[in-house]
Amino acid sequence: AFDYHATQFRFTVIDRMETILKLLAQRGGKIDLKETLEGLDLTRELVVATFLAVLELTRIGRVRIHQPKGHESIYLFERASSVWLTN
């Protein structure tokens, strides 16, 4: 028999996606990736949920990611909700 423990997560990918989109709207459509974690207790759960949220927002075309040069800040840019990407 397996010893299975259910865990209640404080963050979901959907929650993090909504938070990121709200931050982008509040800050003129551009944020530093670090801003998505500001003021929060950095747990593995939070970081993973945020990373997956950024990837999903990029995949569906709501966010564009840009890092000007290696080892510099990573920026997220809002895209219109009607944008459909073909690549």
Contact 55, 70 (CB under 8 A): no
| Distance from C-alpha of 30 to C-alpha of 42, rounded to nearest angstrom | 22
% of the chain surpassing 70 pLDDT = 83
What is the average pLDDT across 33-56? 93
- Burial status of residue 83 (CB atoms within 10 A of its CB: 0-12, 13-18, 19 or more): exposed
| Distance from C-alpha of 49 to C-alpha of 70, rounded to nearest angstrom | 24
pTM recorded for the entire structure = 0.79
Task: Tell me the per-residue pLDDT of 58-77, one tens digit each, with 9 for 90 and over.
Answer: 999 999 999 988 778 999 99
More confident residue, 33 or 9: 33
> Is the pLDDT at 86 greater than 50, yes or no?
no
| Coil, strand or helix at 87 | coil
Taking the CA atoms of the chain, what radius of gyration do you get in angstroms?
Answer: 15
